[in-house]
Every structure is written in structure tokens, then in C-alpha cells.
Amino acid sequence: MFTLCQIIDMKKIPLNCPSCETPLEVTELSCTECETRISGKFSLPLLLQLPPDELEFILQFILTSGSLKKMAIEMEKSYPTVRNKLDDVIEKLTQIKNK
């Protein structure tokens, strides 16, 4: 299992087929220790379907205990800008969840 920090630093996982833009599914998971493989159709977790910049925003939100005021200071942005970004992320998560 990856931590959110590791996911943000990882190479971006492709979400859509580069040829036809259809959402991709995970079809195999494997253990690096014992080489066990599990095949099937697995959906990516909701948060992994967000782009890295929005994952970073969520991580910062959690690390500041949900304080948009603190986030605005750390990001050197205005409070309304940070609030609008949060609203955008919420909207995107809602759309992904309702697919």
C-alpha cells in the first residue's frame, strides 16, 4: 500500500487509454516479495483518479487540519482562491464518484 506522499511522487498513473480515451482498469496486482499475482478487474480508488496537483492539495488540506486560512498562508494565495480550489476538487470528486 502506498502513502499519499509516495503516490504524489510516483510517475503519474495513466487513467485513460492513450488511443481512445476510455478509462483504464487495473487488471493485475502483484506482490514484489513472493511474486503472487492476482488477476481481475479493479477500479482505482477515488483519490487516485485525481491529478497530482489535486492530490497535493488534499494532502496539504489534511496536514493543516483542514484550515484553509493556514493553507492560504502556506500557498501564498488568498483565502478565496484556496476555497475555490477546494470547491473544484470537491466537484471533481463528486463527478468521479457518480460515474
What's the pLDDT at 1?
A: 46
Q: Is the pLDDT of residue 12 over 60?
A: yes
Question: Alpha-carbon distance 36 to 19, whole Å?
Answer: 30
Mean pLDDT, all residues of the chain: 87
Beta-carbon neighbour count of residue 50 at 10 Å? 20
Average pLDDT of span 33-39 = 95
Give me the percent of the chain exceeding a pLDDT of 90.
60
Question: Are the beta carbons of 46 and 97 closer than 8 angstroms?
Answer: yes
Q: Is the pLDDT of residue 3 over 60?
A: no
| pLDDT tens string 44-69 | 888 888 888 899 999 999 999 999 99
Per DSSP, the three-state class of 67 is coil
Structural domains of the chain ordered from first start: 4-97 (1.10.10)
